Structure 1
Amino acid sequence: MGTPVMIRQATPVDVEGIVEVHTQARTAYYIAGGISPDDLADPAQTQQRHDGWARAIHSPGRVVKCATQDGMVVGILSMGRPNSPTIDARTVGQLYQIHVIPSHWGNGIGARLHTSFVDYLTDSALPTGLLEVWQRNTRAQSFYSKLGWKPDGNRRPGPDGIDCVFLRLAATAAR
């Protein structure tokens, strides 16, 4: 499969590769969840992802990491303070996104990125992780369940009228 995968802090130079990974991964799980490829092909959405990732890399409240192999971004991780002001940022860290390019699924890259998130919780003395996942993204739900994440009963409206569900992880249980 090539040289070993390295995980490192993302830089502005990585934005194009990050957007490519994000675009390919989201396309795969949304299509698997029943959304038409035509609904995902809007160039404005790609620009929004580009702008969002560029902001995230520079944001003091976010940590963005890349998994790279042979000079190419093959996975991404974004984490930081909870998005909701009602969640105690002194006790909860949010995993915003893990994406792996579909051609590299099943090679342990997502698990390594997840370990970086657990390390972030530990290093920040945060006992709980929080994330949200689209209800139809059964692949992601299975991945997170195997790593100890549990639904917390909360949800929010998501794409195609299908909710996103919230999952929590006890950081000590993840070690």
Structure 2
Amino acid sequence: MIRTVLPAEAETVAALHRRARATYYPDGLPDDGFDWVAVWRRAAERADAHVLCAVERGGLVGIASFRVPDDGPSETVKLFQFHVDPDHWRTGVGTALHSACVDQWRADGRRAAVLDVHVDNLRAQAFYARRGWVPDPEYPPAEGDHHLFLRFRVPAR
């Protein structure tokens, strides 16, 4: 089941986020200084954002957070976070969550989506490529940057 995350679930969401991120840092998950529980709570409370989750057997197994960025065009949405619990990879959770995002983008009148993915996260890059995401021509890879910027055209129904 896909549903909206509740602010009270921020700690659970942050723990899932941490587990998923830890898989693609070759030297271990860095201490980025963020209070991810507070970040996720604020995201869930924002009126202009969507935080969706995939739930199986009563537990959160995937999360996605998106909104129109403050400095972006209104027809483009940014996928800020998209994570599936590593114990649920290759089970269809990511596909279902991505489809729910696309459905919401279409319902909101968005024509494009953008995201950035860690350059070492080859699994995620392959996942996005299979769904039609391509390198964003407006933001080509920069020397030494650890992010790859991708773009997606939201298909019309």
If the length of structure 1 is used for normalisation, what is the TM-score? 0.81
| Structure 2 counterpart of 1:28, from 23, 31, 44 | 23
Aligned equivalent of 2:73? 88
Question: What do the CA deviations read for 1:80-111 (whole angstroms, capped 9, x no partner)?
Answer: 1125x1x212x101111110110111101111
Would you say the 8 A contact 1:17–1:72 is kept in 2?
Answer: no
> For the residues of structure 2 that align with 1:70 and 1:94, how far apart are their CA atoms?
29
Aligned equivalent of 1:13? 8
> For the residues of structure 2 that align with 1:156 and 1:80, how far apart are their CA atoms?
23
Identity rate, percent: 35
Helix, strand or coil at the partner of 2:8? helix
Moved over 3 A (4+): none
Aligned equivalent of 1:167? 150
> For the residues of structure 2 that align with 1:82 and 1:165, how far apart are their CA atoms?
17
RMSD of aligned alpha carbons: 2.0
Runs of 5+ consecutive residues of structure 1 not aligned to the other structure: 1-5
| Structure 2 counterpart of 1:74, from 32, 53, 61 | 61
- Whether 2:117 is the aligned partner of 1:117: answer no
Which amino acid is 1:94 matched to? Answer: K
Question: What do the CA deviations read for 1:112-163 (whole angstroms, capped 9, x no partner)?
Answer: 1111111121101111111111111111110000000010131588xxx542
Would you say the 8 A contact 1:131–1:166 is kept in 2?
Answer: yes
> For the residues of structure 2 that align with 1:117 and 1:143, how far apart are their CA atoms?
14
**Number of equivalenced pairs:** 155
Helix, strand or coil at the partner of 2:40? helix
Helix, strand or coil at the partner of 2:80? strand
> For the residues of structure 2 that align with 1:70 and 1:16, how far apart are their CA atoms?
18
Aligned equivalent of 2:52? 65
Which amino acid is 2:65 matched to? Answer: S
